[in-house]
Each structure stands twice: as structure tokens, then as C-alpha cells.
């Protein structure tokens, strides 16, 4: 295991705290016109795996590049261990970086690629060899030390890039879509390897991706970006089960949206009237009030699906439009009489409940499993 070198603090060294990185009201604009980041305030805790997740153009990669030193903020401050770093060159920040395109030196062997950042820091030859070997062992690439990158697969090159990021023992590693160029199976394998490395090293990782499942798999916390702002910052389970905004509910995982009008709110539950005067109970979000139009959000796996006339707790009736077999579960697409389309996921039992396209069905769910947002 790689160990960080401990150093005694001098009088001018900020004390260690639980916050390693702080964005303080940071904005980024281009040509005084296009706003990329707007008033970003974010604390990143020491030792955590934080993922910046969002659609293309939401500001997540720009935030990472400002932290790395490759972009300068237009306003605000960025702190690393309590010190402002906006004017500190990237090479002096002592931050590990892993990119999607690997960024390996093609004329160097694997071992030479790893040794390079150590030579720059003028470490002794014996220490360099020791650290290179340990890092290669951690990513299972020791046997490829003398090969050049062109002779490696994409997954192997990304392992080398990861080893190079940890070899000089940084306390912060930034990863920008590092698995985006890999196939699905290899990407899933490396997700777990990176997660285990993070746990073993105790290093802080800031990870950028647009892949929702990747973020849910690896992260301690996830910051959902939208339009240059953070919509919600929370643990993966909370983002999925208790989204605070309509955008987060729709962006994380599959989701159904039903529109209605709020007719009452009591004890945190909203009563909404939807198609044909049907009433539905849902958890009320902040700012929701009687008389407003609202969107009810419910996950596909929370909906109980039965043949018409067989459910005493049915809340909606609909017709099956499509049934898709996916091995461990079925996906049903149902449509209400007023045209609302719903996705339902059911485990692969009873041969898809015997329901086929064209059949009438009944849908039911618990009030605590759906959330009402202001439309």
C-alpha cells in the first residue's frame, strides 16, 4: 500500500480540516457573455469520493479544470487545504489527474511514464523504483512495465494512467471521464477497481462523468450539475429516493411523471387530482401549495402492475403498449386513457404476469413512493 509522507506543520501552514477543497462563489464566463459556472459554492471533504454529474454543458468539467489549474475562475475563490489556489500554476498544486484519453507519453515505457512525475520531484532512484513497482502492483500492471502504451489495450492504458496519478502520493486525484472510451464490461470492472483503490489509499477523489450508474456505483456523494449550478448534493441513495427537484428526479435513473393539481396538503402529503378526477397522494416538496399545478414523480420499480379487475388498490387503469424482456426483469410501457405513458419494471416472475400488448391493466403504488414537485 502506498503511504503518504507526513510533514510537520509550520506556523504558516493552515491546519488540516475535514474540508480539503472549497469553491467559494466561483463563476466562469467566456467573453463576458456565456456563463458556464454561476456562483458555485462547494466543500469537498477530505478522503471522500465526490462525483460531479450532469449533462453535457452543465459545468462539471469546467469546475474540475478550474480545480486542476487548467482554467481560471472569472470570479470567486478556490481553496486547497485552506489556501487560495486560483493563481497557483497547475504543476504546483500536487494534484493527480486521470483523463479519458490516457495522456501517456508514447515514447516512454509504462515504468518510465510512472517514473516521470517522481523524477520531476527529484526523488532518489531507489525510491522511484519502489514507488513505481508498488503503483503498478496496485493496478495489476507489473508485468507490463517495459511495454510502451501503443502495445497496450485501452483498459490497460487507463490502468497505467491511474497508477501514474497515484505514484507521487497526492492527497487529491481528479478524474475527467476516465472510463468514457471503454466498453461496458471493462468500464464496470474498472469502476470497482477505482473504488477499491480509493478505499485502500484514503485519497480524496473528484470524479466527472455523465454516466448515472457510474456515479451511483462509485461515489460517497454526488453533485448534480444543471446550467452551471448544483441542483442537489447528496449521497447516491438520497438522490435516487428523495430528489429535491424535478430535474434531479428525471436525470437520476428512470422516472415517470404525471401532471395534476394540488387540492390539499397535510402532514407532508399532497393530494393531487389527475386524469378523470382521480386523486393521488404523494410526498410534498418544499414550496408546493394548494391550487398549484404539480408533477408527480414515481420510479418504475415502485409501481405494482396487475391485470384489470384483479387489484383492489388500483390507482390508475391503462393499456399495455409494449412488453420488453430483459432477462432478470420485464419492462412494460402502459398508457392511460388520456394518453399518459408510464414505464413499469417487474421482476421476471410468473412469465411477465401474463400481460401482453393490448391488455388492460391496473397500476398501484404507495404514497411514500412518489414525490410531487411544482410544475
Residue 117 within a domain: no
Separation between Cα atoms, residue 231 and residue 211, nearest integer Å: 17
Same domain, 212 and 278: no
In this structure, are residues 371 and 352 in contact, taking their beta carbons and an 8 Å threshold?
no
pLDDT score of 75:
95
How many independent structural domains does the chain possess? 2
pLDDT in tens, 235-257: 999 999 999 999 999 999 999 99
At residue 186, the pLDDT reads 85
**Among 215, 241, 267, residue at a domain's last position:** 241
Q: Is residue 124 a part of any domain in this protein?
A: no
The strands making up 360-364's β-sheet, listed across from edge to edge, are: 304-307, 360-364, 316-325, 329-336, 341-347
Domain of 88 in residue numbering reads as 19-95+170-241
Q: Are strands 341-347 and 269-273 parallel, antiparallel or unpaired?
A: unpaired
Q: What is the pLDDT of residue 308?
A: 85
286 pLDDT more than 70: yes
- Encode burial over 146-175: b for 16+ CB neighbours within 10 A, e otherwise: eebbeebeebbbbbbbbbbbbbbbbbbbbb
Query: Is 8 within a domain?
Result: no
- On whether residue 359 sits in a domain, the answer given is yes
Q: What average pLDDT does this structure show over 87-116?
A: 89
Q: What is the 3-state secondary structure (H, E, C) of 244-278?
A: CCHHHHHHCCCCEEEEEEEEEEECCEEEEECHHHC
DSSP alpha helices (H): ranges in 24-145?
A: 60-68, 110-120, 125-138
Confidence of residue 352 (pLDDT cuts 50, 70, 90): low
Instruction: Tell me, yes or no, whether 196 lies in a domain.
Output: yes
Q: Which of helix, strand or coil describes residue 292?
A: coil
State residue 99's pLDDT score. 85
> 93: how many CB neighbours lie within 10 A of its CB?
16
For residues 268 and 366, state if they share a domain. yes
Question: Domain end: 217, 241, 265, which one?
Answer: 241
More reliable by pLDDT, 169 or 21: 21
130 domain-assigned: no
pLDDT for residue 353? 67
Checking if the pLDDT of 2 tops 50, the result is no
**366 pLDDT above the threshold of 80:** yes
Residues 220 and 289 grouped into a single domain = no
One domain, residues 193 and 215: yes
Show contacts of 179-183: CB within 8 Å, 24+ apart. Answer: 179/100, 179/209, 179/211, 179/214, 180/100, 180/209, 180/211, 181/100, 181/101, 181/154, 182/154, 182/155, 182/158
pLDDT score for 183: 84
- Quote the DSSP letter at residue 27: E
Residues 186, 54, single domain; the answer is yes
Percent share of the chain, pLDDT over 70: 93
- Could you tell me if 233 and 274 lie in one domain? no
The domain boundary residue, chosen from 218, 241, 264:
241
* Residue 349 reports pLDDT greater than 80: no
Element (H, E) at 166: helix 154-166
Residues 231 and 263 in one domain: no
Q: Which residue has the higher pLDDT, 330 or 313?
A: 330
Do 233 and 259 sit in the same domain of this protein? no
pLDDT at 351 over 90: no
Burial class of 269 by CB neighbour count within 10 A (0 to 12, 13 to 18, 19+): middle
Kindly state whether residues 358 and 226 are assigned to the same domain.
no
Residue 82 resides in a domain: yes
Lowest-confidence range among 7-16, 97-106, 169-178?
7-16
124-157 pLDDT, tens digit each: 999 999 999 999 998 889 999 999 999 999 889 9
Is 250 contained in some domain? no
Query: Both 260 and 237 in a single domain?
Result: no
Q: Indicate if 70 and 188 belong to the same structural domain.
A: yes
Q: What is the CATH number of the domain that holds 83?
A: 3.40.50.300
Amino acid at each position: 500500500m502506498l503511504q503518504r509522507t507526513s510533514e510537520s506543520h509550520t506556523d504558516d501552514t493552515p491546519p488540516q480540516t475535514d474540508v480539503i477543497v472549497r469553491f467559494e462563489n466561483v463563476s466562469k464566463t467566456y467573453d463576458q457573455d456565456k456563463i458556464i459556472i454561476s456562483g458555485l459554492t462547494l466543500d469537498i471533504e477530505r478522503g471522500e469520493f465526490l462525483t460531479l454529474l450532469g449533462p453535457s454543458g452543465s459545468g462539471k468539467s469546467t469546475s474540475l479544470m478550474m480545480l486542476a489549474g487548467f482554467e481560471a475562475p472569472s470570479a470567486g475563490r478556490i481553496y486547497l487545504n485552506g489556501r487560495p489556489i486560483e493563481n497557483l500554476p497547475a504543476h504546483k498544486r500536487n494534484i493527480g489527474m486521470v483523463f479519458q484519453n490516457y495522456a501517456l507519453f508514447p515514447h516512454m515505457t509504462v515504468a518510465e511514464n510512472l517514473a516521470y512525475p517522481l523524477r520531476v520531484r527529484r526523488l532518489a532512484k531507489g525510491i522511484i523504483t519502489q514507488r513505481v513497482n508498488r503503483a503498478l502492483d496496485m493496478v495489476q500492471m507489473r508485468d507490463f512495465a517495459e511495454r510502451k502504451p501503443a502495445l497496450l489495450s485501452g483498459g490497460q492504458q487507463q490502468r497505467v494512467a491511474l497508477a501514474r496519478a497515484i505514484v507521487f502520493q497526492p492527497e487529491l486525484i481528479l478524474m475527467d471521464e476516465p472510463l468514457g472510451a471503454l466498453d461496458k464490461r471493462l468500464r464496470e470492472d474498472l469502476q470497482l477497481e477505482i473504488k477499491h483503490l480509493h478505499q485502500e489509499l484514503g485519497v480524496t477523489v473528484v470524479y466527472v462523468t455523465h454516466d448515472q450508474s457510474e456515479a451511483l456505483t462509485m461515489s460517497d456523494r454526488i453533485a448534480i450539475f444543471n446550467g452551471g449550478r448544483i441542483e442537489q448534493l447528496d449521497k447516491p441513495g438520497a438522490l435516487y429516493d428523495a430528489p429535491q427537484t424535478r430535474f434531479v428526479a428525471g436525470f437520476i435513473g428512470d422516472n415517470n411523471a404525471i401532471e395534476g393539481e394540488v387540492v390539499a396538503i397535510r402532514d407532508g402529503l399532497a393530494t393531487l387530482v389527475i386524469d378523470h378526477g382521480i386523486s393521488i397522494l404523494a410526498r410534498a416538496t418544499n414550496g408546493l401549495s394548494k391550487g398549484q399545478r404539480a408533477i408527480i414523480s414515481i420510479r418504475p420499480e415502485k409501481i405494482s402492475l396487475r391485470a384489470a379487475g384483479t387489484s383492489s388498490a388500483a390507482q390508475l387503469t391503462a393499456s399495455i403498449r409494449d412488453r420488453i424482456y430483459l432477462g432478470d426483469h420485464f419492462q412494460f410501457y402502459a398508457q392511460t386513457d388520456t394518453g399518459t405513458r408510464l414505464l413499469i419494471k417487474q421482476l421476471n416472475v410468473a412469465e411477465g404476469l401474463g400481460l401482453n400488448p393490448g391488455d388492460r391493466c391496473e397500476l398501484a403504488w404507495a404514497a411514500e413512493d412518489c414525490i410531487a414537485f411544482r410544475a
